[in-house]
Structure 1
Amino acid sequence: MFNKPIIFFDGVCNLCNASVQFVIAHDKNDQFCFTAIQGELAKEVLPKFNVDLTQLNTVLLLEEGKLYTKSSAALRIAKKLNGAWPLLYGFIIIPKFVRDWFYNIVAQNRYKWWGKEESCWVPTSGLKSKFYS
């Protein structure tokens, strides 16, 4: 379906936008593409996975036809980054309900702690090829 894994992120969340920029900086092998959860691709693809687009507070990773959420998505993303970041994937041995409990605390407070924009972040012209609308 898609050539590369796609990271779906909250386009108005400052933490999420900073995370996308972090992934871009550490994705030296150009492995990921990105799209905002508020975008057209998300509206087209995510309902096929029974995702309620009005209830999202998580990063999503679509990889080889499988959708990963919350800590599982974050750890799978880290696994493909350059540097020491793949070591974080070792946390996958912790049960998902424990990992996601911590993830949910951050997700529920992300706007309060990092802020929110009025509109989605727009990538520079040099990065547009990494993004779906």
Structure 2
Amino acid sequence: MKSATMPNELFLDIREHTRMRVPVPFSCALAEKARPRWFAKKRAGLGVVYDVSLKGARVTTEAPMNPGDQVTVLLRLPKQVAPLAVERATVRWAKDQTFGLEFMHLTSTAATRLKRFLSLHDHPAM
């Protein structure tokens, strides 16, 4: 995501990939990427996805997440039997119980499944 400054100091959000507002929010499972055991306790939780793109998602969860956290994510896309695995995602922003994820590593199979899901729904998020 890039920001451009306007003369009146407003910020324009220019995204490489359009976020799609999902017609019905769907669940996901989150787990903190493996850390050496002397670090803080591993975190995990369930979340609800409200919008998604090829490069990220906006998620609400009760699990504590902070910018910079690395997580694995299982997206439970509607009408699909198996969850879509995102092997590595980074929390880019967090506010209250909502946060933005940037997908850092998707397998080619997962990317194809996500592209197919996105092509079936064309409701850009504002």
- Higher helix proportion (structure 1 or 2): 1
Q: Which has the higher contact order (CA 8 A, sep 6+)?
A: 1
Bigger CA radius of gyration: 2
- Higher strand proportion (structure 1 or 2): 2
TM-score (norm 1): 0.27
TM-score (norm 2): 0.28
